[in-house]
Each structure stands twice: as structure tokens, then as C-alpha cells.
Structure 1
């Protein structure tokens, strides 16, 4: 509690007001060409257009919603190694990557499929595809708070997180790179260039290539990870009206002996603890493995009829394959002297997504009032087949001294690979969005979307199948009032719709059944403003989200789900950036959410329990971030940062919980010249032992990284 109070006072001293838009455009170190000083880049840049908030190219100030961005400069300033690190810098987000979940995000009281994770605006509808990999190829991470089905289709009752890659641009020729080394042999080697390929009359072409290689021996025993990320794009200006961008991205990742968590000591009640002496032990088998290979292709065409009308078309193709081969579940006996290992699991996921989105935007008038429109059509087919094989109990080991054995030592794991379940999801969508300026100060923003979802699932083992169809209509209605040129107020009402089971790509027949769509609605109010003659900027949001028809475990029939229940989330979000002195900049954010079930009956050992008033698992009530940066002298800068995450419940009965944690960090940068920068960063200064995630079914900590030092050199020509 003391640490939380201290951090709140620090955030308050940075003038953190309510909410979240663009809260993280932090400065860099010196007057060199590497970046800006603390005395220059201080605002939240509320007037920069944000792709993820609207189809109308609205800025944060113009949008009647919470929209925040961690851009490229922000990622470099906070030392983001993955896009999840960047996401955690955004207000209210708590992201991690426990095995089996891939990309886990909790936000506004929701998690999993209730938070849409997008890749350049495209939803793969599968959390396992959002594993955090090297951040080098990404340009920014954008967050839209609350129900956003009107923009991104089904799902997203809690919000949408959009990861956007670098693309070729017309600005300048550049060559840049980064090399870093840290504790546990954690290394990154990244290079990139942007170049105009020709000059003169006729079509003009620009190319960009980025490559990143990361590897680590990990703080967990025997766990090793290596990943390569390649991105290429070609921008062609055919003429003054027509342009085309071809974008390709490829990722290959391999992890040996993946860490599936540290078992919690018995008894499983109250505040959960682990044996800190064994916290880095890996109870997976010696040759456990996770691998993924993904490929993206996007063809982006833009045609400008005139200054007010534009046509934009994006064709996209995705192909991904993920392989798991692990022993995943570990549990102490009653006196905590031995650990029983179980949960042998071998699985392959083959996923392919193909789609096309076309939208037309027009700036015109409606009844004599300035009115902007966006119309669009979107179609995609999402197919996935899994090949599962699982076994139960395996052995019992001494927690401190044991032979991990090998995967084929688990009986039955040498069986041939066979199909388990195949799903095909066809989604056809129509959408329209409008902003009309009712007066010079007041704007009305509205949106409406229709989705037709056609879902087929085939259970190859049971030789059964199911074909379901749903129709969803979602929308948003908001008002933005510019009280002054520096202060705007907004309010909005938005809705969402989500297929039963959350993620259709991995849904079983029992999860879908005859269930209706889960629906959500949100009311949000907020403000965005600059203060003290531009020395500071802040945003504020307060919201209430109600989600109905939640798929929950059946209260009468074992191993099935039923659609009954309601969850409500009420919260506030604060963010600000403030130039305290010409050399010192403070920036931070804070969020609070009260998420609880209004209706939820859970069956445990044949007995039905009401979970009304209980909190969902792995949802922190409070999160906060703080950054302080100080220009010591030209070419030298020091920084300090802190992150707080409150305790989370480990079960729906709320009888078990994981304690809160606070992480502190220090950094220093030095510009050798206007092109080359050296940096050193110390993470988890106090060597805090903490859980980034708690497995609900396995009751295992996903232990966070201990204290570590990283040094890096980065250049840009």
C-alpha cells in the first residue's frame, strides 16, 4: 500500500489528469538528430490523426473516445523490446505472454477475446497469434477504449489494441539499426532502411526493409528463445491520384523448454505464494518446444478522386503455423515436499486468413453543415485446423532436484498426428461513419456496422459438425464540444457484439451450440486538454461497460457451457505529460476499474455457486506508469520509471489472489554524435519477485523478469 501511495503522489506531481489519449509521446535525449530534448517534445500531441479510433482520420482531440498511442519514439524511450512492452505503457493495459495464451491482454475489466488484438487493423480472432516478438518492425501501438465493434467487427467489448508495422514512406532516405546485449545473453540485432528507388517524371517508387533477430537464454532454467522478424514494403506512386503499397512480413520463432509457470505452494487459499528458491526452475520436459511461422501479405491501393474524396482498398493474406510439445501442469502435494507433473500436450494449429476491405471517404456538407463520411465493405474467411494430443498424470519429482525427462517418455505421445477440429468463419460486413459539425464548437460523430457471421466447425474425432449463423448490428454515437481551442469535452455511447465462446477459430461445438451473440454497451465521458501555455497536456475518461449473455460453465451439465450472465465494469483512466522545468519532463498514467459479475452461476464438484459480486480472474483493479526524464547536458540524459499493478484474483470465487507489485527502472543515454546513441537500462531495480499472470486452472505463477541490465547502441543516418 505504501508503494502504491508513493507512486500515486509521484503521478500527481506530474499533473496526471484523467484518461488516456496519446499519453506516451515521451521526449528523447538531446538536441541531436537522434531525437528531441525534454524541453521540446512535451505534449500528448492530441491533434495527430489516429488510425485506430475511427475511419474518418480523426485526431485524439476530435474523437469522442479514449484513444492512446505508443509511437516509435515512445518505444525507444521506454526500452520496449516487444509490442507488449509498448502496450503496457498505455493507460489501464496489463499484457503478458503466458504459454498457451500467446498474447494475453487485460483492459477495462475484460481479457482474452474481449480485447481485439489487431495487426494493421486486421483481426485474426485468435489470441495465440499475438505472441510478443521483437518490436523493431513496428511503428506504433494504438489503443481504443471500450466497445469498438463498429470499427473492427465482432468482439472488442473492452477495447481494441492495434499493432502497426513500419511502411515505406516518401519523407527521406534513412539507414538505421540497433544492437543490444543484456543479462541472460539477451541479444538483439536489428537493421532497417527506407529509400527512394528512382527520381524524375513518371511513377515513383519507395522501398523499406527491416530485419530483426532476437535471442535469449532466459531467466528460467533451460528455456531458450530465438526469433527472426522480416518486413518489406514497396510504395509506388503511379500518378498524382493513384498509389499502391505492397507489404510483406515474415516471422519465425522457436522456444526450447517453454516455461509454463511456477507451481503455487499449498494450501490454495488466500494470498498465493511460491518457493522463491525454486522460482526459476523449469518443470517442463527437457525437449519441450514451441514454434511458430507466420506470413503476411497486404496489397494496399489508394485512389484520390479529388481533395475531398478518397477510395482505399486493402487485400490481405495471412498464414500461420504453431506447434506445441510440452508437459504443462505442476502441483505440490499437501506438505509441499513433491510436485506432481501432468498435462502432456502436443498440438499443431494451422491458420489461414484471406480478406478484402474497401472504404470510401468523403468530406462534404449535410444540410449546409460540414460533414465527413466513410463507407465500407469488408469480407474475410478465417480457417483453422488443430491437431491435439493430450495425456494426464506423468510423474512426481523433488522440486529442487529432478530429471526433466523427455517428451516421448510421456506414454502415448508417439502417436501419429491427426486432426482434432477444423473451423471456418466467413464474415461479411457493411459500415458507415459520419462526423457533422453542428456548430463551430460542437461535433456529432456516429457510426453503424452490420456483420454477418457464417461459422462451420467439424469435430474430426467425434465425426460431428455444426453450422451456425449470426447477424450483428453495432454502433457508436458521440458528441465533442470544444470549450476552448485547448480544452474539449466528449461523451459517447457505443455497443459491441461477440460470438459465443469468444474466439470462433478455436471454438468447439459445445461452446457454440444454439447460443446467441454476447452483447455489450458502454457510456463514456471525458476531456482532453493542454495547460500552462502548452507545458502540459492531459486526458480524462470515466466509463461504464455492461456485457450480457456471457458463456459460462454449465450449472447443470458437466463439461459444457451455457449462456447466462452479466458483467459490469466501471472505471476511470488518467494520463498526462508535463514539462516541470526546461530540462525535466514527467509523464504518467493511472487507471482504476471495478469489474464484477452481476449474474454468474458456477458448478464446482456438482454444486452450483453464485458468483454475483465477484471479480473476474487476472483483472487488476489499479495500474499506473510513471516516467521522469532529465537532460543533464547536451548529449546526456537520465531517466527513471515505475510501474504498479495491483493484486488479482486467481479464481472466480475470489478466495485466492496474487499480490500486487511495483517495478522500478533507471536509464541513461548519451549521443556520440547526431547519428549514434549509446544507452544503458536497468530493469526491476529492486529485484521484485512477482507474477505477471496466474493460470486459473493450473494455479501456476508466470514469474516476471528479475533485475537485469541492458546496454545498446543505436544509429540513424
Structure 2
């Protein structure tokens, strides 16, 4: 019988949650520095931690990374910080939910690698490998949670000077919760439609005046609205401890664990005749519950040491080891063999069982100083990392090959690998056997980099922002076919950041910016895919350039920030195929260009009225797709011309808050030929909260208020995933 023995079943979340409460710590050597007790020329303002009111916390003033050497008002690039209060009020429970509040970002899928996990596109470019946690690259195929997040920082535009390889359209930085110098505790319990159950806790305790511990935990179990067979189940734990609070020498040790156990969903196939997803019932599910599953884990240990050498000079060393797994069998409702036109679908299985291990050490030296009449806010650092990924997918007996005649063999004759378009049965008794495939992929990425940033203040009105980074990058990919002769791409590259800021008044700035990124072959190796191949292993990195003109203004007593920017991102040496057989040859002769406009607002219009959101226009064009393609002049896949997001709340009384959100995406194409697409849509959300008592609050969220049927992840050729329908949750929060 083809019964797959699963390592964790749905319904075991609570047991796993309580059984998994273990603290792992990592000891590393801290850098040793001696400080001269001398008066600093420029004093770095002290950092204090305090509770924020809603009107303050909607608008963030600074980014967490020391690489951003100026406040956001004076930073010459588009940076959006999604604060914790917006994450909570909007009812977000995953990174995917969080990114819905920010324009210019779409979500993607794929056949393999990370099919239903986090794959954001920023300004038209895939940013799957450009996600960072507390400034350190977070590799591996994951579906990230929010229970341990203070904020999400979105840096837009090419930024390899900040992050290294990739970052063609931008990057994400997830800021974790850490111990604080005051005691507090909180918990929340959520129940909702679609069998939703969620529990979170956040406990902070000072052990002494200089030592504090913090524990964040989460258990979540739910179905997906409008997709009857799709389920999500996960639990997480994040303990941390800080030594030396308020002292010159500080150390924070933290551990993060997340386990998921889901029924994956590839949505609906395209109708090649109309170009849109097929017109069937919203809850039509082509997977097989007797075969499909997805289980992931993420374990991360971090040790961070900081030392204030002088009042205005600090050194920070971060060491992180992470291990993540991604194990799944998922059904792709394949339409490439012409079955959909006949009213049938081939259930094409995609599989993966991968392990990713990463070790990173990063050192930053940052502070302020003067040279003559020039004031400097600077940051310099070095980073060393090693990433290893091993993927060994599954094989099926009997072998499953692409079916072109599902109209003849549907049902038992095909072992239920063929089914009807309109009425598939997810519980069909598929009875093949599953084993590990002899094919495997093993990748290793090693990198070393050094970087320097400086904001030079010339006068109160004029400043210059400079940044440079050098990366040495080495990737090796090995398969069963290559044996002991792995494919390798070794390259080194420089990237730059230059911006000029003019402040006509203290609360407004106008800037111009130029930045670059480098995208070497094998950039996505950390996701377990072998992008290093015979046809690209000797190619130099792709180069991406960005030009941006923008302005930022703080209004209403500096409680509201408004920003506007026009920009161009261009890649003039894109990798393209030069043969009709795409596996034979590639050259760096393609060209891609994105021209855009972005507007955003964050903060408070009045003490009661808070807003967060914006609008993005993207003219994303494939200028030259190479000599064998006919996509010149077509739009980027998965890139809407117009996108709009707004989250807004109003404090009716000191205890009652009403709010809501609106999201709009125009048409997005699924393929470079622009023959397949998902239609435009509007989505609306609503929220109401009531502070029952000083330490007890209630919040009602209704998501997708109008039950709009839309598609959140269009994929080339095959399918588009269906976004959740209308759902409602009630959350009770307790503070103590």
C-alpha cells in the first residue's frame, strides 16, 4: 500500500509545543577591545527602551541595522518598516500576511525548492534568498512566523552594498524580540472560523539589574478559508537571555525553533484558452490527502556580543548557526499536456527532502566622529558564511510520467494520477509506494565580505551617504551525475551606494540615490536548487543598477511620515539562453528594466487616527530576452502595474478602536510571454478592539471581508494558488 508514514500528524501540535520547550545556547568568543577613557568629539545619543503609544509606533524613525547610518528621514532610499502594532492589529500570523500591508511586494510560488513558503518579489525581482533576521541572512526553505517579531524592515531597490549577493529588487530584515530591562508578560488566545486555534505567550523577566530573560512561544492550528482540504499546523519557541543590560559590555544568547505540518496547496491550473485560472468551484482541490504532505523545521542559535569602546564607538559580533528542513510531496495540477481542455487534470507530484545548514559570523564597528567641519556617522564590518544544502527527493513505484490522455485513463486506470477538472476527489485511494530517489543535489556556498558606510553631514542642510562592499563568493553544486566533479562558480564583486540628501527644513528631505547589486550563478543554492549548471558555471554575476529620486516629510508634529520616490532599476547583462535547448548555453546579453513610482504614509494624522500603507506603480519590461525568445517588450511575470495597500485605525474612545485595510493589485502575468495571468482584485479587511480592563483586551478581525476570490501566487505555465476566503477570528489578550 502507498501509505506514507508521517513523522508528525495533525493534532499533535499541543503535545509537540509543550514537549519542545528546551533552551539551546551557543558559546562563542567575543572580540576583545580596549577603550581609551577620553572625551568623544561627537556624542552618540543614548538608546532607551520604553512603551510606545500607537501614534508613535506606527511611524518608525530608524532601522535596526548599523549599516543604516542615518535616520530614515535622512536615508536616501525607500525603506518601509512594518511595526509590531500593525502586525498585531491586522491579524497577521505569518510573514506572508505581514507583507500584504506593503505596496511593491508580490508573492510567488514554484514547482520545487520552496513551493508554498516565503517567496516575495520586490519591485519585480525575486527576493526569496534576500531575507535576513537581525541583519544576518536567513537561508533555507521556510514559511516564517510572526510570534517573535518586533518589526519587518523592507529595503527597496538594488542593495548588495548592504546585503551582499542578490537583492536585485530589495531585501527583508526581520527584527526579533529580545530581553528588556523591565518585567512584563503577556498571552493571547485566538479562536475563529475554519477551526482556527492559536496561542501565544511573551514573558520578560529581569534576573538582576543587568540580566534579563525572555520567552516567546506559539501554537497554531487552522484550516484555510475557502480551501476545504488545506490545513496549517505549527508551533514555535524562542527563548533568549541578555547579560550586561545597561553596561558597556553586553551579550545576548538566543534560540529559535519553528515546526510546521501542513497540507500543501498548488491551487488551480490555467485555462490555456482564456489565459486565466480555470473556472471551477473555489474549493476544488487537486491534491491527494493519501499522498501529499509538507513538514518543515527551523532551528537557529545566535550569540551576539556588543562592546561600547567609547561613548560614540561600538563593536558588535554576531555568530549564528541555523538548520532548516523542508520535506514535502505536493500535487501540481499540471496542464502542460493538454488535459485541461478535455476536462481533466494530471496530478503531477513534486517532492523534496532537504536539509540546509548555515554558519555565519559578522562583525560591525559603528559610531560617530568629526573630521574638521564634517560630521560622520559610520559603520564598517566583515562577514564570513558557509551554507550547505542537501536535497534527496522522493521516487514513486510505479513511476509517474506525464499523462497526455487523462480523458481515457482518469481514475483507477491511472492510479488516480489523472482526475476530472470539475470534480476531483482528494481522498482517492492512491496506492503507489514511495522511496528516496537515487538523484540528489548537494550544494555548498562560501562567502567572505567587507563593507564600509558613512553618512557625511556637510551642513545642517546637506549630507552625503556612501557605501561600498566587496564579496568573495564560491558555490559548488554536486549531483549523482557529476559525482566527484562538482560544478563550481567562483566570483568576486564590488557594489556601491551613493546618495545626496538636501533638507530645506528640519522635517523634510529631498534625495537622489544610486545603488548596485550583483547576482552570481548559484545565488539560490541556499534554497536547495542547483542553479549552477554547465551552461552558466563560468558566467560573471548579473549586474543591477538603480537610480532613485525621492522626498520624505514628517508632518503633524513629526507623527506622520510621507514619502514619494521615482526610480529605475535595470539589469543590462541578464542571463538568457542562446540556444533553443536552454540547457546548452547561456550568455549575459539580456536586458530588463523597471521604472516606477512609490508613495507611502506611516504614522498618525491625529492622536486618534493612524495610517500605514502606500501605492506603487511598476512599468516592468523585458527589454531583451535573448536571441531564442520572443518576449521582448513583455512585462515581468508576477509584477502588477498598480498596487495599493492601506491599513488604518481610529481610536473611538480610549478603550475602543476600529480599523480596516484595503489591498489592490492590477493584473499579474504568470509567464514571460504574458499569455497567462491572474485578474486584478480588491481585498478588504476589518478590525475592532475593546480594552475590557487594564490587563484584558479583545480584538475581532474579519479578513477578506467581501469573500473576494483572487489568486495570490501566479506561477509560470501551470497554476495559480487561491488566496484564502473570508474568515473571522476573536483574540483575547492578557497582560501581567
Which of 490, 497, 501 aligns to 1:469? It is 490
Helix, strand or coil for the counterpart of 1:537? Answer: strand
For residue 78 of structure 1, report the CA deviation from its aligned partner: 1.9
Which of 532, 538, 561 aligns to 1:514? It is 538
Deviates more, 1:707-716 or 1:218-227: 218-227
Look up the match of 2:431. 409
For residue 278 of structure 1, report the CA deviation from its aligned partner: 5.0
Which of 323, 328, 331 aligns to 1:319? It is 323
Look up the match of 1:571. 596
CA 402–67 in structure 1, closer or farther in 2 if over 3 Å, else same = closer
Quote the RMSD (CA, aligned, Å): 2.5
Look up the match of 1:503. 524
For residue 235 of structure 1, report the CA deviation from its aligned partner: 0.3
Look up the match of 1:392. 401
Contact 1:353/1:381 (<8 A) preserved: yes
For residue 91 of structure 1, report the CA deviation from its aligned partner: 3.0
Q: Does 1:122 align with 2:128?
A: no
Q: Does 1:49 align with 2:59?
A: no
Look up the match of 2:217. 211
For residue 287 of structure 1, report the CA deviation from its aligned partner: 3.0
Deviations 1:611-633 (A, max 9, x none): 22111111111111123322323
Deviations 1:341-384 (A, max 9, x none): 24223321111000201121232122442122222111000111
Which of 71, 79, 83 aligns to 2:83? It is 71
CA 185–575 in structure 1, closer or farther in 2 if over 3 Å, else same = same
CA 473–581 in structure 1, closer or farther in 2 if over 3 Å, else same = closer
Contact 2:676/2:717 (<8 A) preserved: no
Helix, strand or coil for the counterpart of 1:76? Answer: helix
CA 392–77 in structure 1, closer or farther in 2 if over 3 Å, else same = same
CA 341–132 in structure 1, closer or farther in 2 if over 3 Å, else same = farther
CA 477–211 in structure 1, closer or farther in 2 if over 3 Å, else same = same
For residue 229 of structure 1, report the CA deviation from its aligned partner: 1.1
Deviations 1:163-218 (A, max 9, x none): 12111122x2111111111221122101110110124xxxx211000100111122
Contact 1:109/1:594 (<8 A) preserved: no
For residue 82 of structure 1, report the CA deviation from its aligned partner: 1.3
Q: Does 1:252 align with 2:259?
A: yes
Contact 2:94/2:144 (<8 A) preserved: yes
Q: Does 1:81 align with 2:81?
A: no
Q: Does 1:173 align with 2:198?
A: no
Structural mapping, 1:53-452, within 5 Å: 55-95=67-107, 100=115, 102-113=117-128, 116-126=130-140, 128-129=141-142, 131-133=143-145, 135-170=146-181, 172-199=182-209, 204-219=210-225, 220-237=227-244, 240-256=247-263, 258-267=264-273, 269-270=274-275, 272-331=276-335, 336=341, 338-389=343-394, 391-393=400-402, 395-404=417-426, 409-410=431-432, 414-418=434-438, 420-452=440-472
For residue 112 of structure 1, report the CA deviation from its aligned partner: 4.2
**TM-score normalised by L of structure 1:** 0.87
CA 197–560 in structure 1, closer or farther in 2 if over 3 Å, else same = farther
Q: Does 1:549 align with 2:573?
A: yes
In structure 1, C-alpha distance between the alignment counterparts of 2:80 and 2:242, rounded to whole Å: 27
In structure 2, C-alpha distance between the alignment counterparts of 1:335 and 1:485, rounded to whole Å: 61
In structure 2, C-alpha distance between the alignment counterparts of 1:656 and 1:352, rounded to whole Å: 37
For residue 500 of structure 1, report the CA deviation from its aligned partner: 2.2
In structure 1, C-alpha distance between the alignment counterparts of 2:503 and 2:689, rounded to whole Å: 39
In structure 2, C-alpha distance between the alignment counterparts of 1:308 and 1:117, rounded to whole Å: 30
For residue 462 of structure 1, report the CA deviation from its aligned partner: 4.2
Contact 1:177/1:716 (<8 A) preserved: yes
In structure 2, C-alpha distance between the alignment counterparts of 1:305 and 1:275, rounded to whole Å: 65
In structure 2, C-alpha distance between the alignment counterparts of 1:705 and 1:677, rounded to whole Å: 26
Helix, strand or coil for the counterpart of 2:161? Answer: helix
Helix, strand or coil for the counterpart of 2:534? Answer: helix
Which of 721, 729, 734 aligns to 1:702? It is 721
Look up the match of 1:3. none
For residue 637 of structure 1, report the CA deviation from its aligned partner: 1.7
Deviations 1:452-472 (A, max 9, x none): 011211122342422321001
Contact 1:330/1:339 (<8 A) preserved: no
Deviations 1:670-706 (A, max 9, x none): 00112211011111121111110112131x1200111
In structure 2, C-alpha distance between the alignment counterparts of 1:365 and 1:145, rounded to whole Å: 30
CA 562–335 in structure 1, closer or farther in 2 if over 3 Å, else same = closer
CA 163–467 in structure 1, closer or farther in 2 if over 3 Å, else same = same
Deviations 1:275-328 (A, max 9, x none): 242544243352311111111011100011111111110011011111112332
Runs of 5+ unmatched residues, structure 2: 1-49, 403-413
CA 378–276 in structure 1, closer or farther in 2 if over 3 Å, else same = same
In structure 2, C-alpha distance between the alignment counterparts of 1:335 and 1:421, rounded to whole Å: 33
Contact 2:513/2:549 (<8 A) preserved: yes
Helix, strand or coil for the counterpart of 2:401? Answer: strand
Look up the match of 1:594. 619
In structure 1, C-alpha distance between the alignment counterparts of 2:340 and 2:550, rounded to whole Å: 52
In structure 2, C-alpha distance between the alignment counterparts of 1:68 and 1:122, rounded to whole Å: 18
In structure 1, C-alpha distance between the alignment counterparts of 2:604 and 2:455, rounded to whole Å: 34
Contact 2:250/2:307 (<8 A) preserved: yes
For residue 117 of structure 1, report the CA deviation from its aligned partner: 1.4
CA 236–638 in structure 1, closer or farther in 2 if over 3 Å, else same = same
Look up the match of 1:628. 648
Deviations 1:583-624 (A, max 9, x none): 44444311111111111037xxxxx33322111111111111
In structure 1, C-alpha distance between the alignment counterparts of 2:239 and 2:429, rounded to whole Å: 38
Look up the match of 1:14. none
CA 487–239 in structure 1, closer or farther in 2 if over 3 Å, else same = closer
Helix, strand or coil for the counterpart of 1:317? Answer: strand
Q: Does 1:486 align with 2:507?
A: yes
Deviations 1:239-294 (A, max 9, x none): 832110001001111113x1111123352x44x14224254424335231111111
In structure 1, C-alpha distance between the alignment counterparts of 2:218 and 2:539, rounded to whole Å: 44
In structure 2, C-alpha distance between the alignment counterparts of 1:474 and 1:705, rounded to whole Å: 40
CA 513–586 in structure 1, closer or farther in 2 if over 3 Å, else same = closer
In structure 2, C-alpha distance between the alignment counterparts of 1:528 and 1:635, rounded to whole Å: 33
CA 497–409 in structure 1, closer or farther in 2 if over 3 Å, else same = same
Runs of 5+ unmatched residues, structure 1: 1-32, 603-607
Contact 2:702/2:726 (<8 A) preserved: yes
